[in-house]
Amino acid sequence: MTVPVLLFARYREAAGAAVVDIEIGEDATLADVWERVRARVPALRDERRPLFSCDRAYARPDHPVTGREEIAVFPPVSGG
Amino acid sequence: MPGLYQIVEGPLELVAAIRAVSGPDRGAIATFIGTTRNHHDGRPVQALEYHAYVPMAEAVMRQIGGEIDSRFGTPHVAILHRIGRVAIGDPSVIIAVAAAHRREALAACAHAIERLKEIVPIWKKEHFAGSAIWVEGPEPPGPSS
The pLDDT value recorded for residue B41 is 85
Q: Rounded to the nearest 5°, which phi and psi values hold at B102?
A: -65, -40
The bridge status of strand B43-44 relative to strand B39-40 is antiparallel
The pLDDT value recorded for residue A16 is 96
The DSSP code sequence of A27-57 is: T-BHHHHHHHHHHH-GGGTT----EEEETTE
- What percent of chain B lies above the pLDDT cut of 90? 88
Instruction: Inform me whether the pLDDT recorded for B86 exceeds 60.
Output: yes
Query: Which tens digit of pLDDT belongs to each residue from B37-51?
Result: 999 888 899 999 999
- Indicate yes or no: CB of B140 within 8 angstroms of CB of A74: no
Instruction: Inform me whether the pLDDT recorded for A74 exceeds 90.
Output: yes
Nearest residue to B14 via CA among B68, B80, B71: B80
Give the model's confidence band at B137: pLDDT under 50 very low, under 70 low, under 90 confident, else very high.
confident
- Indicate yes or no: CB of A77 within 8 angstroms of CB of B142: no
Q: What angle do CA B141, B137, B140 make, to 5 degrees?
A: 25
Give the model's confidence band at B138: pLDDT under 50 very low, under 70 low, under 90 confident, else very high.
confident
CA distance B34 to chain A (A): 6
Nearest residue to B35 via CA among B81, B66, B99: B81
What residue in B sits closest to A70 (Cα-Cα)?
B56
- Summary mean pLDDT of chain B: 94
The pLDDT value recorded for residue A4 is 97
From the number of C-beta atoms within 10 Å of its C-beta (0-12, 13-18, 19+), residue B70 rates as exposed
Domains defined along chain B, listed by start: 4-135 (3.90.1170.40)
Query: Which tens digit of pLDDT belongs to each residue from B25-39?
Result: 999 999 999 999 999
Question: At the fourth CATH level, which superfamily is domain A16-74?
Answer: Beta-grasp domain (3.10.20.30)
Phi-psi region for residue B42, left (φ > 0), alpha (ψ -120 to 50) or beta? left
Tell me whether B72 touches chain A (CB under 8 Å): no
- What percent of chain B lies above the pLDDT cut of 70? 94
Residue A77 to residues A25, A28, A66, B101, B129, Cα–Cα distance (Å): 30, 26, 26, 32, 24
The residues that bridge with B99 in the sheet, in sequence order, are B28
Query: Which tens digit of pLDDT belongs to each residue from B6-16?
Result: 999 999 999 99
CA distance B122 to chain A (A): 5
Instruction: Inform me whether the pLDDT recorded for B133 exceeds 50.
Output: yes
Residue ranges per structural domain of chain A: 16-74
Surface of B (35-54) touching A: CB under 8 A:
50-53
Distance CA A52, CA B14 (A): 32
The pLDDT value recorded for residue B1 is 59
The pLDDT value recorded for residue B85 is 97
The pLDDT value recorded for residue B2 is 79
- Indicate yes or no: CB of A51 within 8 angstroms of CB of B140: yes
Query: Which tens digit of pLDDT belongs to each residue from A5-58?
Result: 999 999 999 999 999 999 999 999 999 999 999 999 999 999 989 999 999 999
| Residue B58 DSSP code | H
